[in-house]
Amino acid sequence: MAREIIEGFGAYKIIMTRGTPSHVGKEEDWEDTIAEAVGADIRSEQFIDVEGYKIYARHKVGRSSIAHGRNTAPNRLQSWNFIKSASGLCPLADWVILNHVHYCIGGFQFFGNKKIETITIPALQTVSQYGVKECEGEVHFGLVYADIHKGVKKNQKELIEIIKSAQPQEIVI
């Protein structure tokens, strides 16, 4: 199913990041199998250059159960990207894209004159036992889309539905 969806976009280049075992298999890394099938470049973290606009993408990021703390872990990775890029260890990102937390939150920080945006993208998993057991608060289901043209990000859209996954779907006594 994942292969059909990915191929349905008709992208000329496919770039993927590896997930965590609870999503992609504890015995086998299924995302590697999918990446091979669709001809994707897959890594645990990706540094992507789109016409000069640089993206840092990875799946795993810490999460917070408190509403006002949800941007802490993404901001930490954003800061580490800035520090590591100053040491020549990685490219400096314009946009840090993260997954894993099942909620969508974003923002930006300035590092000198450099503005770096960050976003955790929503889940593509709706109400499930994982959501009930692991996620607190709202779970956001959906997609994030943006056009990047001539090194400039334009038309970012978040298509999100709020899922009540932290509430049990049945009561068992």
Q: Is the pLDDT of residue 34 over 90?
A: yes
Which residues have CB under 8 Å from 13's CB, separation 6+? 41
What pLDDT, on a 0 to 100 scale, did the predictor assign at position 24?
A: 67
Question: Stretch 130-152: mean pLDDT, rounded?
Answer: 82
Question: Stretch 46-71: mean pLDDT, rounded?
Answer: 92
Q: Where are the domains of the chain?
A: 1-43, 45-163
Question: Stretch 105-132: mean pLDDT, rounded?
Answer: 84
CB distance 118 to 107 below 8 Å: yes
Tell me the CA distances in angstroms from 102 to 66, 67, 78, 152, one per residue in order.
14, 13, 19, 27
pLDDT tens figures, 7-29: 998 999 999 999 887 666 677 77
Question: Stretch 79-84: mean pLDDT, rounded?
Answer: 95
What pLDDT, on a 0 to 100 scale, did the predictor assign at position 141?
A: 85
Question: Stretch 63-79: mean pLDDT, rounded?
Answer: 90
pLDDT tens figures, 159-173: 888 876 555 555 555
pTM for the model? 0.86
What pLDDT, on a 0 to 100 scale, did the predictor assign at position 103?
A: 87
Which residues have CB under 8 Å from 4's CB, separation 6+? none
